[in-house]
Amino acid sequence: MRHARVRDARKDELPALAAMRHRLAELLKAKDPNLWEMSQDEMNRLEQTYAEVMDGGKGRILVAADAHDRPVGMIMLRLLDSPRVEPGKMGRIDDAWVEPEWRRRGLMRELVRAAAAHAQERGYKRMILDWSAKNVASARCWRGLGFAPMIVVGTAPARDLAEKKERSSVIRSESDGRSK
């Protein structure tokens, strides 16, 4: 990681973190205009959300800071506990971003390592995150860091599904390619 270090985010950096999340939203919309967007209310309260994560004990926000100690990347970790799934303790990565001029230097790898180490130290056994299927660079990054797709989320306008009277009678199984 050349000329940057990973550390905890500080409260005085909340505006910079929110600005990074806004750039992430712009990128996501450009890659796939059909993706769900964060509501405007949530975008407006990002600084508050990040402060709550910093103070709440169930997560952590890390930054990659340049030689002048300015954030050039970020990652938000949330620690999730669910008795409904096994393992019930998972670390969830959200709002992962590295400024374009700082990419391909290992910063995201270091951010993920620090987030995973934090989760593991607290007994969280699995890390999860979402990425857009249409964002090839993101998919390449996450797969290169060890993440593998597990669940596919399909989406369609309800109107389109309700109006379609008949679908093709041949459905191909994704697992074996045979007609069913």
Q: What is the pTM of this model?
A: 0.81
Q: Which helix (H) or strand (E) holds 74?
A: strand 71-81
Rounded Cα distance, 156 and 159, in Å = 8
Q: pLDDT tens digit string along 33-50?
A: 877 778 888 889 999 999
The confidence score (pLDDT) of residue 88 equals 73
Q: Is the pLDDT of residue 99 over 90?
A: yes
Rounded Cα distance, 132 and 119, in Å = 24
Q: Token pair of 164, please?
A: 């379609």
Q: What is the mean pLDDT of residues 75-103?
A: 88
Domains of the chain: 4-151 (3.40.630.30)
> Of the given ranges (67-81, 111-125, 149-163), which has the lowest mean pLDDT?
149-163
Q: Mean pLDDT in the chain?
A: 86
